[in-house]
């Protein structure tokens, strides 16, 4: 982030922009140091991941087991040539990092979601049993106490809310994946259509060029025959 060449849209925010730029540069410097250490052969413990929150967040994406994608943005303008060079150099450094992609599998016995579902089933079963033992109501001297029923009901409601949140998150994630697949399919179809249209246009242009060339050759041939005939007459 260039402090000299980038200015805030509002002059009153210039000091805030300057602090933000300094923070961005500091974090990117820490990221560059970690990448250089990894490329030099340092392991994760001595690479310097703890130097910033960003490097800690990206630990699994830098030489870890996660899949990482880096997008370097730049422009063709001459006045930004130095920034473009810096960006390309940084991207080249990042490309030298090698990740060992490995899927992480969660044992069903350790799945929090399954544990919550199992606990909810147990509570609902216990709640139903106590209701049956109470004979449809809470009597004095027999059956479960009102406090026990209230505790079970409260736990069932809390588990239901937690499961709903997790199910909603899983559903939202699945929708995101489905939307991404749909967009990829749409992009693939669009690229296919565009390529077919361009190929058809090239074929048509080639056909016209060949037809024009044929006409020129035929015209030259006629002209040659006419000249030969005239020379023969002379």
Q: With helix as H, strand as E and coil as C, how does the chain read?
A: CCCCCCCCCCHHHHHHHHHHHHHHHHHHHHHHHHHHHHHCCCCCCCCCHHHCHHHHHCHHHCCCCCCCCCCCCCCCCHHHHHHHHHHHHHHHHHHCCCCCCCCCCCCHHHCHHHHHHHHHHHHHHHHHHHHHHCCCCCCCCCCCCHHHHHHHHHHHHHHHHHHHHHHHHHHHHHHHHHHHHHHHHHHHHHHHHHHHHHHHHHHHHHHHHHHHHHHHHHHHHHHHHHHHHHHHHC
Asked if 84 and 134 sit in the same domain, the reply is: no
Domain that includes residue 149, residue range: 109-193
pLDDT of 104 above 70 = no
Q: Is 0.85 surpassed by the pTM of this model?
A: no
Please count the structural domains in the chain.
2
Higher pLDDT, 64 or 51: 51
Asked if 142 and 166 sit in the same domain, the reply is: yes
| CATH code of the domain containing 30 | 1.20.58.980
Asked if 43 and 77 sit in the same domain, the reply is: yes
- As a residue count, the chain comes to 234
Q: Tell me, yes or no, whether 102 lies in a domain.
A: no
For the residues 117-142, what does the mean pLDDT come to?
Answer: 67
Q: Read off the pLDDT of residues 6-37 as tens digits, 9 standing for 90 and up.
A: 665 566 777 787 888 888 888 888 888 888 88
Q: Tell me, yes or no, whether 210 lies in a domain.
A: no
Asked if 116 and 163 sit in the same domain, the reply is: yes
Q: Tell me, yes or no, whether 73 lies in a domain.
A: yes
Q: Tell me, yes or no, whether 158 lies in a domain.
A: yes
Q: Tell me, yes or no, whether 170 lies in a domain.
A: yes
């Amino acid at each position: 982030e260039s402090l000299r060449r980038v200015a805030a849209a509002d002059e009153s925010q210039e000091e805030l922009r300057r602090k933000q730029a300094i923070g961005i540069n500091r974090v990117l410097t820490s990221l560059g140091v970690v990448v250089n250490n990894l490329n030099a052969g340092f392991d994760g413990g001595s690479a310097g991941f703890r130097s910033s929150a960003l490097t800690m967040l990206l630990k699994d994406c830098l030489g870890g087991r996660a899949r990482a994608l880096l997008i370097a943005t730049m422009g063709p303008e001459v006045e930004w040539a130095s920034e473009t060079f810096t960006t390309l150099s940084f991207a080249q450094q990042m490309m030298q990092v090698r990740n060992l992609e490995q899927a992480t599998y969660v044992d069903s016995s350790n799945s929090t979601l399954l544990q919550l579902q199992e606990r909810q089933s147990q509570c609902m079963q216990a709640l139903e049993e106590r209701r049956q033992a109470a004979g449809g109501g809470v009597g004095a001297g027999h059956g479960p106490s009102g406090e026990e029923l209230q505790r079970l009901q409260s736990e069932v409601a809390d588990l239901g809310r937690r499961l709903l949140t997790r199910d909603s998150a899983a559903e939202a994630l699945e929708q995101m994946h489905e939307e991404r697949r749909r967009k990829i399919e749409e992009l693939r179809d669009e690229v296919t259509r565009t390529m077919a249209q361009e190929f058809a246009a090239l074929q048509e242009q080639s056909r016209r060029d060949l037809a024009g060339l044929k006409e020129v050759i035929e015209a030259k041939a006629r002209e040659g025959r006419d000249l030969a005939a005239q020379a023969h007459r002379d």
